[in-house]
Amino acid sequence: MHVSVWHRLDGVARRLLPFATTILLVVLSVVPLHLPGLGSVAPALALMGVYYWAIFRPDFLPAPAVFAAGLFQDVLSGMPLGVNALAFLVAYEIVSAQRRFFLGKSFMVMWWGFMLIAAGATAGTWLLVSGLSGAFLSPRPVVFQFLLTLALFPCLTWLFIRAQRVLLQQG
């Protein structure tokens, strides 16, 4: 009896891991880092979480959770509500539909896939925000943000793989 309660708690914690890491990335993406030259551009960290978990554990990160994470990002960053929610959802749906293609492939393939997804999400967000505010945004910081996000993908993925090994595949 005693064991089963702990076992169940453990299971709950594992199921929450993908959502918890994604939410954590949302919060981390708005923490001011005061890096020279980076004052204005921060990478889209949470998108990496959505991408990774959509491939490896979509069952633990269902669409409503992705929507919630996107909405949280919208609220914290001050963007129009619903923009990130939509971008995350569409990215999640595309990736989880193609997840069998990515499973077991090399890291380069995953990175390449992320490049396509991030490019699509960035371009879509740019169009949506431009449309909603009725003026075209300067594209330069957008491109810079995309490149920075792409460059950080290997580091984050390494952490995700660690987290997944430790917490998800133990039992």
Binding track over 72-111 against another protein, x by CB under 8 A: x-xxxxxxxxxx-xx--xx--x------------------
**Cβ of residue 149: shortest distance to another protein, in angstroms?**
10
Which ranges constitute the DSSP H helices of the chain? 2-29, 45-56, 63-77, 83-97, 99-102, 107-133, 139-167
One of 6, 135, 170, 171 touching another protein (CB under 8 A)? 135
What's the rounded Cα separation, in Å, for the pair 124 and 144?
A: 15
**Cβ of residue 130: shortest distance to another protein, in angstroms?**
9
CA distances from 103 to 17, 98, 117 (A): 20, 9, 16
- For another protein, which is the closer residue by CB, 79 or 163? 79
- For another protein, which is the closer residue by CB, 142 or 159? 142
67 binds another protein (CB under 8 A): yes
Tokens of 80: 């129009």
Binding track over 16-55 against another protein, x by CB under 8 A: -----------xxxxxxxxxxxxxxxxx------------
- For another protein, which is the closer residue by CB, 139 or 165? 139
What's the rounded Cα separation, in Å, for the pair 111 and 127?
A: 24
Tokens of 39: 């004052």
**Cβ of residue 110: shortest distance to another protein, in angstroms?**
23
Q: What is the dihedral of CA 60, 66, 68, 69, to 10 degrees?
A: 100
**Cβ count near 115 (within 10 Å):** 14
- What residues make contact with another protein under the rule CB under 8 A? 27-43, 62-64, 67, 70-72, 74-83, 85-86, 89-90, 93, 122, 125-126, 128-129, 132-133, 135-138, 140-142, 144-145
